[in-house]
Amino acid sequence: MTQAPTAPKALRRRHDREIVALAVPAFGALVAEPLFVMVDSAIVGHLGTHQLAGLGVAAALLMTAVSVFVFLAYATTAAVARRVGAGDLAAAVRQGMDGIWLALFLGTVVVAVTLPTAPWLVQAFGASDTAAPYATTYLRISSLGIPAMLIVLAATGVLRGLQDTRTPLYVAVGGFTANAALNAGLVYGAGLGIAGSAWGTVIAQVCMAAAYLIVVVRGARRHGASLRPDAVGIRASAQAGVPLLVRTLSLRAVLLIATAVAARLGDIEIAAHQIVLALWSLMAFALDAIAIAGQAIIGRYLGADDAEGARQACRRMVQWGIATGVVLGILVVVARPLFIPLFTSDSAVHDTLLPALLVVAVSQPIAGVVFVLDGVLMGAGDGRYLAGAMLVTLAVFAPVALLVPMVGGGLTALWWAMTLMMTVRMLTLWLRMRSGRWIVTGATR
């Protein structure tokens, strides 16, 4: 009788330790990623305005191309974690190698498409005549690093599935440091200008991919897993990634629609929107770190045929998501006098920004639930449902957002529409979680 009340507490503490052990390093790695572009911008910015504008266009195109394939990390994490839970580490690493081979294939295709079409892509993105040559140069050179970038995504998924988020953190920090040193040396020391920045990024990404491959290959040899490409496994990895690709494209469409609507509202509104979106994205890193922990933990429990363990871990992570969202919302409100002046000194932008920012603060607990359940269902390999739920969300959000300028709504109204989008996502994910249909145990789904 005396031990019964302590059992749930002990279980919660165990879940908490697992979540923290995986989420904290994952957060560090996530934050390191956008620092690549920030370093490039800081170094290239001193070359001139036209060079910086060219970098902005090329970097946006590059990041869009890479982010579309983020399913390489998500799908690989879930598949590998299941094998780990089933106790078959050789099959887990073999599954990861299939994802890495798929990344290499997709990266090669993207390079083959990007190199000849770079001038057209830059023009289509709206680069000015003075910025376009710099954008084309940066895009062509940096695209050579896309295979390495996609390998990094897939290999990150392998290690997350193996319950290791520390190695990705170390590699990300090392890559960031190398990128900064190479950019400074090649841009100014070697006098290569914006081309030097692009080459620095390519070299840093190739080194990161090499570091990951060394770790994965060592694991494969240790567990006796084959390193050769397997057509059946690669095809299975691609099929698992298709629904997550649909989900990602739908989410990108939401963000593009929101930006397009903000642009129609006026220059002040789009300027304020970009600031709000940047802060919203920054807070998403903290929530996404918990989601990454969810992918790894849930996949492992389901692979071990522990359905009840998966349910309990899910409940605890939802509590973490809500609590983190509340803390982030409070921080936004309390710290707004400190960070808003860092972004703008324009009083009109400030006045437009503030109420929209308060809407974002209020919605953070909702975002916490969304990110966590998204991670849980990814870890369960429930990609088809995630794709369908995101398409439903897009169908609800698009007409509401497009009505904002028609009815005379401002930026605050647009961010209420974004909150509606997150609420719809929360409801669809919550219904799936409550149904229990995502719980499919075994080494494979």
b/e burial code for range 33-68 (CB count within 10 A of at least 16 → b): eebbbebbeebbeebeebbbbbbbbbbebbeebbee
Count CA atoms closer than 13 A to 262's CA, side-chain side: 27
How far is Cα 359 from Cα 365, in angstroms, rounded to an integer?
12
Name the DSSP class of 442.
Answer: S
More confident residue, 3 or 274: 274
Lowest mean pLDDT among 195-204, 259-268, 399-408: 259-268
Q: Can you spell out the DSSP letters for 288-301?
A: HHHHHHHHHHHHHH
Count CA atoms closer than 13 A to 40's CA, side-chain side: 30
The single-letter code of the amino acid at 358 is: L
Nearest of 177, 254, 172 to residue 418 by alpha carbon: 254
Q: Can you spell out the DSSP letters for 57-112?
A: HHHHHHHHHHHTTTHHHHHHHHHHHHHHHTT-HHHHHHHHHHHHHHHHHHHHHHHH
How far is Cα 261 from Cα 21, in angstroms, rounded to an integer?
40
Band of residue 16 on the pLDDT scale cut at 50, 70, 90: confident
Q: What percent of the chain has pLDDT over 70?
A: 97
Question: pLDDT at residue 170 above 90?
Answer: yes
Nearest of 140, 82, 401 to residue 261 by alpha carbon: 401
Give tens-digit pLDDT for 204-238: 999 999 999 999 999 999 988 888 888 888 998 89
Give tens-digit pLDDT for 92-129: 999 999 999 999 999 999 999 999 999 998 888 777 78
Nearest of 144, 147, 211, 150 to residue 176 by alpha carbon: 211
Lowest mean pLDDT among 29-43, 204-218, 284-298, 361-375: 29-43
Question: pLDDT at residue 202 above 60?
Answer: yes
Question: pLDDT at residue 377 above 50?
Answer: yes
Question: pLDDT at residue 27 above 90?
Answer: no
- CB within 8 A of 106, min separation 6: which ones? 69, 72, 150
Question: pLDDT at residue 4 above 50?
Answer: no
Question: pLDDT at residue 7 above 60?
Answer: no
Four-residue CA torsion sign, 182, 153, 307, 429: positive
Per the prediction, the chain carries an average pLDDT of: 89
Q: Which of 200-214, 251-265, 342-356 has the highest mean pLDDT?
A: 200-214
Span 27-48, average pLDDT: 77
Question: pLDDT at residue 5 above 50?
Answer: no
